[in-house]
Amino acid sequence: MSYRLEPVLCRTTIEERIAELGKELSRDYQGKQPVLVCVLRGSVYFAVDLTRAITIPHLLDFISISSYSQETDPIGIVRITKDLDTPIVGREVLIVEDIVDTGLSLHYLIRNLKTRSPAGLRVCTLLNIPARRIANVPIDYQGFELPNIYAVGYGLDYHENYRNLRDIFSLVKEET
Amino acid sequence: MAVITVSRQFGAGGELLAKKLANELNFPLIDRKAIVEALTEMGLSPQLLKFDEQATKGEDAEKRQRFYLTALHEHLLTLADKESYVLVGRGGQFLFRNRPDAFHVLVCAPFNQRVQWVHEIYNLEKSPACLLVREHDRRKKRYLRQVFDRAWLDPEVYDLVVNTKTLTPQGAATLAKQAAGSFLERNMRDSAAVSLRTAKREQNIADKQPSSFMHPSEEEFARMLNFYHIPWQYEPKTFPLQWDSEGRVTEAFSPDFYLPEQNLYVELTTQRQKLVWKKNKKARRLKELYPEINVKIIYNKDYQHILESLGID
């Protein structure tokens, strides 16, 4: 099996959209000092650029959750592998995701963070692929809605490859 | 499912009320002992268990407390999806504040009365009893403020507030049982709650019968849903699609999964893309005849995408 990369979003388009999101968030969170929760690892690239586009005081924190693997034992359940360093009780919280497709991990994360009684909890994702959605999750801010493709680049990986690309591509399998 | 939360001022007899309530309703009582047992079984270290209902100071302690609370809250929420229970303390009134199937009781009594009871039960002099009650009140207030940022004696939080001075703990328990009983009855009548309960029950049955899956990909999908705490049922319903002239069903569709929380039927297909037209046709027909049903077909390609995005080939 070989792969080819088809361009989907170039860096300029991504930069422009992030600037718009930054403005929107700065306006909506004026005076609220939100906590931006970056979901490791793919969202780091987006979160960093997004914070640069936000002009109001805010705090950046990181969280990581285990993902499903076939080696998971039959009673395995998702868990937090790196928790926030900041208490979020009574704070405005914005989850920053690189991509929301099935919504399964985000669904868990929202449920988990809600138990910590934040004042508000919203979701900002760079990419949204509603065609693959399984769990209902609210998306408050989105960069781009994409069709059902396998996106790589700008933090998104395929077996840890392509994260470092500045543009976003569709990974297309070529049957040999 | 229903959760009855019992919050109590120290020395007001809340534990006694909760125990009686659990007995009368035949619900398990989730108190400190049950929590310690469950969390220990989950592998939580004894050092973390000391954060139970304790406010903390200092960055390191706060971090460990958050870890403890995440485990505790996850445990209580997951348990509430499976069975009804009576919960004593732990800020249950705030944790379950938005759940329509939760009923919140506050057990209180005037300060002097509680001192009197503590003096009698703990065999303490009046002055240390007074100190103990004051300390516990302060600690509880601080804990609930730190964890939930709420004022715990706000009457609006509760469905029932009982004063055990006049009612006595026994009398308060009888009253609480009546109130909770009528709440549960109303809750039972709620058809949505009933269907959700049925769904959960069927899901539990399905959980226990993984070998009945028609295809390994379905078993894997079920494991993935379990991993992310998404309740599901396996092939719970068959939708007739065509009938012959005598009214016999000649074509039907039984989607592989139903996700009750998402109100979504999911059909997994591992066939090659070229061969899925038949399934697409069925899904279209299903939409025509049952427009209120949400069904999603996950094609082989989509399923591979999902697995690949998780780093699995």
Any residues with CB less than 8 A from the CB of A151 and at least 6 apart, and which? A8, A99, A127, A129, A168, A169, A170, A171
pLDDT of residue B191: 47
Tell me the β-bridge partners of A123.
A95
Tell whether B136 and B264 lie within a shared domain.
Answer: no
Which residues between 81 and 100 in chain A have a beta carbon less than 8 angstroms from any beta carbon of chain B?
A: 83-85, 87, 89-90
Map residue B216 onto helix, strand or coil: helix
Q: Could you tell me if B19 and B127 lie in one domain?
A: yes
Evaluate the omega torsion of the peptide bond into residue A132 and state whether it is cis, within 30 degrees of 0: no
Count: domains in chain B: 2
> Which of B189, B221, B239 is a domain's end point?
B189
Which residues of chain A does B220 touch, with a Cβ-Cβ cutoff of 8 Å?
A: 70
Q: Which residues on chain B are in Cβ contact (under 8 Å) with A89?
A: 146-149
State the CATH number of the domain containing residue B175: 3.40.50.300
The per-residue pLDDT of chain B, averaged, comes to 81
Give the closest-approach CA distance of B64 to chain A in angstroms: 10
- Is position A37 within any domain? yes
Note whether B61 and B178 are same-domain residues: yes
Q: pLDDT, tens digit, for every residue of B124-157?
A: 788 888 888 888 888 888 888 877 777 788 888 8
Chain-chain contact of A68 with B228 (C-beta, under 8 angstroms): yes
CB contact under 8 A, B74 and A115: yes
How does DSSP classify residue B114?
H
How many other β-carbons are positioned within 10 Å of the β-carbon of residue A118?
21
Quickly count helices (H) and strands (E) in chain B.
12, 11
**Count of domains observed in chain A:** 1
B262, part of any domain? yes
> Which sequence positions of A are flagged as catalytic?
101
Helix spans in chain A (H): 11-28, 44-53, 104-114
Indicate whether A156 belongs to any domain: no
What is the arithmetic mean of pLDDT over B1-14?
88
Q: Which residue of A has its CA nearest to B59?
A: A85
Kindly tell me if the per-residue pLDDT of A57 is higher than 50: yes
- Answer whether residue B102 shows pLDDT above 50: yes
Q: What is the pLDDT of residues B112-122, one digit of tens each?
A: 888 888 888 87
- Report which of residues B276 and A58 the model is more confident about: A58
Instruction: Specify the higher pLDDT residue, B281 or B192.
Output: B281
- pLDDT at B4 > cutoff 80: yes
CA distance A94 to chain B (A): 18
- The model's pLDDT over A95-139, given as tens digits with 9 standing for 90+, comes to 999 999 999 999 999 999 998 889 999 999 999 999 889 999 999
CB contact under 8 A, A134 and B230: yes
A152, closest residue in chain B (CA to CA) = B309
Predicted confidence at residue B150, as pLDDT, reads 74
List all residues of chain A from 56 to 85 with a beta carbon under 8 Å from chain B. 67-70, 72, 74-78, 80, 83-85
Mean predicted confidence (pLDDT) in B19-28? 87
Summarised one tens digit per residue, pLDDT across range B186-199 is 777 764 555 555 55
Cβ-defined contact of A77 to B226 (cutoff 8 Å) = yes
- Confirm or reject contact between A111 and chain B (CB < 8 A): yes
Residue after which a domain boundary falls, among B189, B222, B256: B189
A73: nearest CA partner in chain B: B223
> Exposed (0-12), middle (13-18) or buried (19+): which is A24, by Cβ within 10 Å?
middle
In-domain check, residue B195:
no
Q: Does B298 lie in the same domain as B150? A: no
Please give the pLDDT value at position A120. Answer: 96
Residues B9 and B147 in one domain: yes
Domain of residue A86 covers 14-66+77-149
Q: Is residue A58 part of a domain?
A: yes
pLDDT tops 80 at residue A176: no
Nearest C-alpha in A relative to B306: A102
Asked if the C-beta of A108 comes within 8 angstroms of chain B's C-beta atoms, the answer is yes
Flag whether pLDDT at B13 surpasses 90: no
pLDDT at B258: 94
- B295 lies in which domain range? 209-309
pLDDT of residue B194: 52
Statement to judge: residues B184 and B66 lie in one domain: yes
Smallest CA–CA distance, residue A68 to chain B, in Å, is 6
Q: What is the side-by-side order of every strand in the sheet holding A151-152? A: A2-9, A168-174, A151-152
If asked whether residues B62 and B158 sit together in one domain, one would say yes
Q: How much is the pLDDT for A127? A: 97
pLDDT recorded at residue A45: 97
Query: For every residue of A116-150, which 3-state class applies, written as one string?
Result: CCCCEEEEEEEEECHHHCCCCCCCCEEEEECCCCC
User: Residue B198: inside a domain, yes or no?
Assistant: no
B196 found inside a domain: no
In chain B, the residue whose alpha carbon lies closest to the alpha carbon of A91 is: B149
Q: Cα separation of A55 and A59, whole Å?
A: 12
Q: What is the CATH number of the domain that holds B216?
A: 3.40.960
- The whole-number pLDDT of residue B180 equals 84
| CATH classification at residue A36 | 3.40.50.2020
Q: Which of residues 137-196 of B touch A (CB under 8 A)?
A: 146-150
A76 has pLDDT over 80: no
7-66 of A, contacting B, C-beta below 8 A: none
- Average the pLDDT over B4-24 and give the result: 88
What's residue A106's pLDDT?
Answer: 95
Contact B70 A83 (CB under 8 A): yes
In a domain, A21, yes or no: yes
- Confirm or reject contact between B207 and chain A (CB < 8 A): no
Query: Same domain, yes or no, for B63 and B96?
Result: yes
- What is the model's pTM? 0.61
Same domain? For B213 and B296 the reply is yes
